[in-house]
Structure 1
């Protein structure tokens, strides 16, 4: 069996035949003569050493081997299409691609403006942005799926080099008419008397709240958990509880949802968002350019030590 001689035209033809259920229809879609198409299918079967199609009066169906080849052919042809798109980008002036993973706090508060300003001066660099929990961001950088990551402090990042990106502050969000709505500031210890709307357990924010609650010897009364800041605000507005959120991220919702934002007096309510990468000395120039741009934030401060 010699599969190294398989060509893309034959794979494309086979995929069209498989989808249409007909060699003649597949040949028409591939702009080939029926005789030439039939020979290519026969050559494919000879190369793999087993029939790929069951031929009958109404057309063809795939054998088990044909089904396997069809799955692989779709993936191979998809990769070729992606390769063509990437090479087209480079031919039109693309300098490089940066795979940036970050948590929701970074996306909702800071990255839109920072990336937009970077793109204005560096149109040849494309940024592929993925939004994930802080732990997933760190794992993506560690295993090479991401070039750089942005995540919350207190997230274990063994082996990564880290630098500060931005600082933010957490605040308490309550609905209008809540018992705390008239307060300008509160201690977290006062707020945990009430029901909470929280993010899922794996997020850095949920872990921070849980740790601070346990430090007080108390239990957080979680009424509902959701997956986004926007959903948290909607649940708070509906009277499902109070929530702790980055203050900048909820400013657009405070007025539109008639919420009240209250300052948290606790020191831990101030956070650092960190940039992490595996080896600063080894990153390509276009990745370093984005890192330098992100690190020019005026709100940078010394990040806490990473454990």
Structure 2
């Protein structure tokens, strides 16, 4: 297998690196990683002489030295560093291509890249995806958990086929349709002053310190915006990266938190915490499915989209 690569030469003309073979790229990658031609050759199951010949051919092709030889082994030159970066990406692409073609050879119809936020993954997607997979064994779902803003970006640049993110996430230019609804609640230790309340307005809760998700998450942004709208500071004690960690911090007395009710129901019970209703309108959220063009959904993506939307196709 060979790649056709056309980098610009130093004189401004295009250099044609045609038929740059993957064996040589893989060998070069192993040599740089191990810092030795002999070690790289051994890892590639090649004789040292054959490996040296391949590296010499590579250097002749690019018109530049790729490795600096010294008593302790080799290190890449500036040109070698550039080739190493590109070689890693090319070899990674080939590995992914091999995996996909293997799937297709075994009867796989297609792969759907689904990105979703933590709320969707912890509350709804496991059951939805399991039901879909049982009914559609030929379609594989690659699920990635990300912040809502990262999901929108991935949809725009084509890294994701479908995305599930929270409402209020800036997503102009994307088609959006409702996936599910969830309810945000206040979570507090049982000995907290608010623990005996059945309902607490967010404005009242701002008197106390908070545990929050990392910056950039839709939930963290929502709390900040609502606190600013009330003209009150959000007293952040600590930021963590998961609902689990947030509940652990609340249980340790580090503050109170706002979390999706269904996502933390089991954690609240196991850690002996209290869920308190938030009557504020913004505490009722929608999780949205986003995609770039509803009129150009690939055939293997459409069944999952229809499944997630229920009985309603886009």
TM-score under structure 1 length normalisation: 0.86
Look up the match of 2:244.
230
Look up the match of 2:167.
Answer: 153
1:155-194 map, 5 Å: 155-194=169-208
Change (3 A) 1:190 1:86: same
Which of 107, 115, 119 is matched with 1:105 structurally? 119
Deviation sequence 1:188-238 (CA, Å, 0-9, x none): 232222222222342222232233333333332222222221111111111
Within 5 A, what are the aligned runs for 1:206-221? 206-221=220-235
Which residue, 235, 248, 264 being the options, matches 2:262?
A: 248
Q: CA deviation at 1:17?
A: 4.3
How big is each residue's C-alpha offset from its partner over 1:97-131, in whole Å with a ceiling of 9 and x where there is no partner?
11111111111111111111111111221212222
CA displacement 1:76-109 (0-9 Å, x = unmatched): 2232222211211111111111111111111111
Shift of 1:53: 4.1
Which has the higher mean CA deviation after the structures are superposed, 60-69 or 222-231?
60-69
Provide the residue aligned with 1:127 in structure 2. Answer: 141
Superposed CA RMSD: 2.5
Q: Identify if the C-alpha distance between structure 1 residues 58 and 162 changes in structure 2 by more than 3 Å, giving closer, same or farther.
A: closer
Distance 1:56 1:178 in 2: 66
Distance 1:42 1:256 in 2: 63
Partner SS, residue 285 of structure 1: coil
C-alpha distance in 2 between matches for 1:38 and 1:223: 58
Shift, 1:43, TM fit:
2.4
SS in 2 for 1:6: strand
Name 1:69's counterpart in structure 2.
83
- 1:209 and 1:59 map into 2 onto residues whose CA distance is 55
CA distance in 2, matches of 1:277, 1:211: 26
The residue that corresponds to 2:280 in the other structure is 266
Secondary structure of 2:263's partner?
Answer: helix
User: 5+ unaligned residues in a row in structure 1: which ranges?
Assistant: 301-307
Matches of residues 6-25 of structure 1 in structure 2 within 5 Å?
6-19=20-33, 23=37
Q: Unaligned stretches of 5+ in structure 2?
A: 1-14
Q: Paired residue for 1:200?
A: 214
Name the structure 2 match of 1:275: 289
**SS of alignment partner, residue 233 of structure 1:** helix
Q: Which residue of 2 aligns with 1:43?
A: 57
TM-score (norm 2): 0.85
Q: Which has the higher contact order (CA 8 A, sep 6+)?
A: 1
Length, aligned pairs only: 298
Provide the rounded CA distance (Å) in 1 between the counterparts of 2:141 and 2:40: 38
> Following the alignment from structure 1 to structure 2, what is the Cα–Cα distance between the partners of residues 146 and 77?
21
